Structure 1
Amino acid sequence: MPHERTPGWVAEPQLGSWAEDMGKFVEQDLTKIAAVYCLVVILLLFSWPPVPAVLLGTALLVLRRYLAGGRYFSEARLDGRTVLVTGASGGIGQETARQLYRRGARVVLACRDVSKGRVAANGIRLGLPPTGGSLSVKRLDLTSLNSVREFVKDFNHTEQSLDVLINNAGVMWRPFEKTEDGFELAFQVNHLAPFLLTILLLDKLKAAPQGRIINVSSMANYFTNGINFANLNGEETFNSSSQYSNTKLMNIAFASELSRRLALLGGRDRMGRGAQRREERNT
Structure 2
Amino acid sequence: MFIDSHCHLDFPEFKNRLPEVLANMKSAQVSHALCVSVDIPDFPNVLKLAQENVNLYASVGVHPDYEDTPEPTLEFLVETASKHPKIVAIGETGLDYYRMGDRSYESMNWQRDRFRTHIQAARRTKKPLIIHTRSASVDTIKIMKEEGADQIGGVMHCFTESYEVAKQAMELGFYISFSGIVTFKSAKDLQETCRQIPLDRMLIETDSPYLAPIPHRGKTNEPAWVSKVGEFVADLKGVSVETLAEQTSINFNQCFHIDGSL
TM-score bucket (shorter structure): 0.3 to 0.5
Q: What is the TM-score of this pair, normalised by structure 2? A: 0.35
Going by fraction, where is strand more abundant, 1 or 2? 2
Q: What is the TM-score of this pair, normalised by structure 1? A: 0.33
Structure with larger RCO (C-alpha < 8 A, sep 6+): 2
Structure of higher CA gyration radius: 1
